[in-house]
Structure 1
Amino acid sequence: MEYPIHHTISKVGLPLIVTSDSPKLCFLVDTGATHNLLFSFVYEHLKDSFTAYREKNFVMGIDGEKKETMQIETELSFGGQNSSALFSVIDSDRAVAQIQSETGIQIHGILGIPFLIDNKWILDFSNLKIKSA
């Protein structure tokens, strides 16, 4: 799989990727994120699409606060390639609203280092592409 990110970087300055399947979900690809995150408003609207785990997790949210989170698993499709991933569900409504206000784009979650490693994704910033090994 090769997924171009030149458009999103030139338009909003962020590496964003959108799922191939419905519902279309937009994720920020964050090489500094130690967890995969799904925002709570997405979870609330699509609960039946996820498998919830009993285990809780603690993460530092994008707003800088430590939060206890629910763990969920889901399958996502990018460029026709399916990927299963574990996510922490966090409430970051203010941060998401600020990003949407500044960029005009609503993001639904963050793909962090665990997703990149598990799916063997490589961010090629020289050519502005995401590649899978």
Structure 2
Amino acid sequence: MDKSFPITLGLQKAGLPLILTSGKLKNLCFLIDTGSTHNILFDFVYNHFRDEFKLLDDTQSLMGIEGQYRETPTIEATFNFEGKDYTSTFSVLDASEAIKQVQEETGIQIHGVLGIKFLLENKWIIDFNKLNISNYNE
């Protein structure tokens, strides 16, 4: 085991497993979603930090929060969490209404979703008994 990081703050504040980034993309709040097949960066974040991302020549068909499929641009993003840089691909999605509702209910603005793809790539394991994330390196 490399390290473990608590997810208690997000669970206490919003009832959601959340992490905050540091580095160039400082204070971005990502929801860790074991039910999401894609990593998602919300379009308002992409538009604000556009120069920090690499736009890839790829689109993905993704079901939005409202249940409709749409083509989304794909980007590569690097962010820092607990002193380590993580790079992965993300679909850019407009989820303004859903995010607005979460922010109104919890006071927390979510900037994106880290899905199964990210968890597998980085060997992150969520332990809901201990309320932490562990990453295992070979």
Q: If the length of structure 1 is used for normalisation, what is the TM-score?
A: 0.96
What's the CA shift for 1:41? Answer: 0.2
Query: Among the aligned pairs, what percent are the same residue?
Result: 50
Number of residue-to-residue matches in the alignment: 133
Tell me the alpha carbon deviations over residues 13-44 of structure 1, each in whole angstroms, 9 at most, x when there is no partner. Answer: 10000002242100000000000000000000
Whole-angstrom CA distance in 2 between matches of 1:25 and 1:63? 23
Whole-angstrom CA distance in 2 between matches of 1:43 and 1:69? 12
Q: Who is 1:61 aligned against?
A: 64
Supply the RMSD in Å over aligned alpha carbons. 0.9
Q: Who is 1:8 aligned against?
A: 10
What's the CA shift for 1:126? Answer: 0.5
Return structure 1 stretches of 4+ with deviation > 6 angstroms: none
Q: Who is 1:124 aligned against?
A: 127
State the AA in 1 paired with 2:129.
S
**Can you give the 5+ residue segments of structure 2 that lack an aligned partner in the other structure?**
none
Equivalent residues in 2 for 1:37-52, closer than 5 Å: 37-52=40-55
Tell me, yes or no, if the aligned pair for 1:2 and 1:79 is still in contact at 8 Å: no
State the AA in 2 paired with 1:109.
G
Whole-angstrom CA distance in 2 between matches of 1:2 and 1:21? 20
Q: If the length of structure 2 is used for normalisation, what is the TM-score?
A: 0.93
**Can you give the 5+ residue segments of structure 1 that lack an aligned partner in the other structure?**
none
What's the CA shift for 1:132? Answer: 0.6
What's the CA shift for 1:91? Answer: 0.6
